[in-house]
Amino acid sequence: MSTAVWAFIGVVAGGLLTVAAQATAESLKARAAARARHEQRERATRQFQRDTLIELQAAMADYRAALDRDRTQLLPLRSTEQQLSAARARYQMLVHRVSSSAAREAALAWETAALPWFQGDDSGTAAAEAEAWETAMRVTGEAVRATD
């Protein structure tokens, strides 16, 4: 075989190796970018859940305070009813955004214990409400720490 043929084979082989190397490099870059996007989404999801849990704790405190104000009113006031309605709406929106089923169930259990107590129903007791409150705060706090 002449040197021209060997040179041609060398050029073709070199070109194929270059194309293969570029394809491999692009594939590795694409995988790294996909991994980075996935990790970024995971971080954003954890941060969203953390923020939601913290907001839920604050909403529960507002809801509890509004229930207490409503219970202590001799006559229902429109402003108190509006505050209670707004606090409950915020609580309900946030409780269903939480991905932690334990935190969601604890928050819902607190509301179940709180409503009879604050509304003057004989089936509710202050001790049951306080215990459910402590449990809900502990469980949501643990869920917040789990997002770190």
**Contact present, 53 and 143 (Cβ < 8 Å):** yes
**Contact present, 117 and 125 (Cβ < 8 Å):** yes
pTM across the whole model: 0.76
Range 111-120, long-range pairs (CB < 8 A, 24+ positions): 111/63, 114/64, 114/67, 115/67, 118/67, 118/68, 118/70, 118/71, 119/67, 119/71, 120/71
Under the banding of pLDDT at 50, 70 and 90, the label for residue 58 is: very high
pLDDT at 122 over 80: no
Distance CA 130, CA 88 (A): 18
Retrieve residue 22's tokens: 């570029």
pLDDT in tens, 62-86: 999 998 888 777 777 888 889 999 9
**Contact present, 63 and 113 (Cβ < 8 Å):** no
